[in-house]
Structure 1
């Protein structure tokens, strides 16, 4: 989030268009969480609802990377703000992936937390 805020608030860039990717950050895990809630409980990830959730999540992910690129191409933001936003995207999505990976393990020992 620091990179996204810097892309918006630095005096060199001074535009708030890149901050709209935060909406994608908030929406991207929702389809996966809903699909996990309504799976049949067999642990299989090949259910139709899980595949649809992954498709929607990937749509949010691609959109969050495409938005700053399109804004930079249209001249609404500078290239530096675009690069800072893309770096923020990578870090945020790796964090979300790590969260789902760590807390999805059934055999994890949570005593270390």
Structure 2
């Protein structure tokens, strides 16, 4: 069925309802509404950012010049960093406009995890477990990955139709 017969059929229903139905079917004929495309583009760009960050981490570990895999312990920090905030979002009711102790504790724990993730490669480099060049690559990967995690919560953290809480 092509678009012309669909719009004429919706106009035959008459009134505002037919015009509203016509405009809705016209915008979403391809299967993707404009709001969904923005979410998909954001998800693709965040995936690309995560891949770039992990590439820097792997380069800091696997290049023949460095050849030490101690920085892979940072993967635990990447996994642990969003957990306190996700738990507090589930527990806390967002209707309260005042400060909440549970949310502040979650932000404090997340900050501690992120700072530890930046401190560990520096401690490894000062103890001469890894080279300073590997430390620089791992710190660059940290910036990219934690920026990607922050971007994920900024893009998908709102309570709209395309939210990560629905997953």
Report the counterpart of residue 72 of structure 1 in structure 2: 125
Whether contact under 8 Å (2:77, 2:113) holds in the other structure is yes
Partner residue of 2:81? 28
Residue of structure 2 aligned with 1:60, choices 107, 110, 113: 113
Alignment RMSD: 1.7
* CA–CA distance in structure 1, aligned partners of residues 98 and 114 of structure 2: 20
Report 1:79-98 matches (<5 A).
Answer: 79-98=132-151
Q: Kindly indicate whether structure 1 or structure 2 has the higher relative contact order, using CA contacts under 8 Å at least 6 residues apart.
A: 1
Offset of residue 87 of structure 1:
0.2
What residue ranges of structure 2 are gaps of 5+ in the alignment? Answer: 1-53
Residue of structure 2 equivalent to 1:46: 99
> How far did 1:50 drift?
0.4
Runs of 4 or more off by more than 6 Å in structure 1?
A: none
Q: Please report how far the alpha carbon of residue 44 of structure 1 lies from its aligned counterpart in structure 2 after TM superposition.
A: 4.1
Q: 1:40 is paired with a residue of what secondary structure?
A: coil
Residues of 2 paired with 1:92 and 1:45: CA distance? 31
Compare CA radii of gyration and give the structure with the larger one.
2
Distance in 2 between residues matched to 1:55 and 1:26, nearest whole Å: 16
Q: In the TM superposition, what is the alpha-carbon distance from 1:40 to its structure 2 partner?
A: 1.9
Counterpart for residue 55 of structure 2: 2
Q: Which residue of 79, 85, 101 maps to 2:154?
A: 101
How many residues align? The count is 110
